[in-house]
Amino acid sequence: MTRQADPAAQQTDPAAEQTEPAARETQPTAQQAQLVIRPALAGDAAAMADVFIRAWQQAYPDVVPDAVLRALDHDQTARWLAELIARRTEGSTDVGERSGRVIGFIRYGTQPGEGQTGYVFGLYVDPGAAGQGVGRTLLRHAEQRLAEDGCDTVALHVFEANERARRMYTRAGFRPDGSTRIEPEYQATEVRLVKVLSSPAGS
């Protein structure tokens, strides 16, 4: 499925540049001892496409038109993700894996004209990893990286009808800023959520 911009940052837990990016792994907590977060590599694109399509098919019936879900194509999605991984100057793409298997990923960075506001472009978790805190851990990871890069606020878009994701983001401290958008390719209203970031320790 060809797209010019990332879909809304949907949390679906039941939403690049150099060939070998510098490893900036997040040490897992005791509760998530098997979860490793690392920069995505080109070889991860197929597994990420599996996660993306499974997440959309599980979370978005009655959120986006059925035609959008039917149009999801694994090979095309994998190529799109490989391009994002390669263009790291346009944002970071990190995966979460357990036992060597990718079970989620997150894209984040900044946007022109947004000042010190970071942005979560997309957050996706395999439905098979539901309820294990993978999405929350990936989100905290992105917030930490954005704060380290000098951002004082983080924003994202989520489908208005995706109540589960909105509850998760509310618990994480995100609040709507009153703005919405409708991307032509998804034909569904998205709301913009924002959160003030804490300064990194030692800053």
* All domains in the chain, ordered by first residue: 30-196 (3.40.630.30)
Q: What is the pLDDT of residues 107-149, one digit of tens each?
A: 999 988 778 999 999 999 999 987 889 999 999 999 999 999 9
Q: What is the pLDDT of residues 41-73, one digit of tens each?
A: 999 999 999 999 999 999 999 999 999 999 999
- Of residues 104 and 24, more confidence is placed in 104
Q: What is the 3-state secondary structure (H, E, C) of the chain?
A: CCCCCCCCCCCCCCCCCCCCCCCCCECCCHHHCCEEEEECCHHHHHHHHHHHHHHHHHHCECCECHHHHHCCCHHHHHHHHHHHHHCHHHCEEEEEEECCEEEEEEEEEECCCCCCEEEEEEEEECHHHCCCCHHHHHHHHHHHHHHHCCCCEEEEEEECCCHHHHHHHHHCCCEEEEEEEECCCCCCEEEEEEEECCCCCCC
Inter-residue contact 120 to 106 (CB < 8 Å): yes
Considering the chain, what percentage of its residues have pLDDT values greater than 90?
70
- Of residues 90 and 87, more confidence is placed in 87
Question: What order of strands is seen across the sheet that includes strand 153-159?
Answer: 35-39, 92-98, 101-110, 117-125, 153-159, 189-196, 175-182
CB-count burial class (<10 Å; 0-12, 13-18, 19+) for 68: middle
Global pTM reads: 0.81
Inter-residue contact 106 to 46 (CB < 8 Å): no
Parallel, antiparallel or unpaired: strands 92-98 and 101-110? antiparallel
Nearby residues of 67 by Cβ (< 8 Å), 6 or more positions away: none
d(CA 146, CA 138): 12
- Of residues 48 and 12, more confidence is placed in 48
pLDDT at residue 199, rounded to an integer: 67
pLDDT at residue 145, rounded to an integer: 96
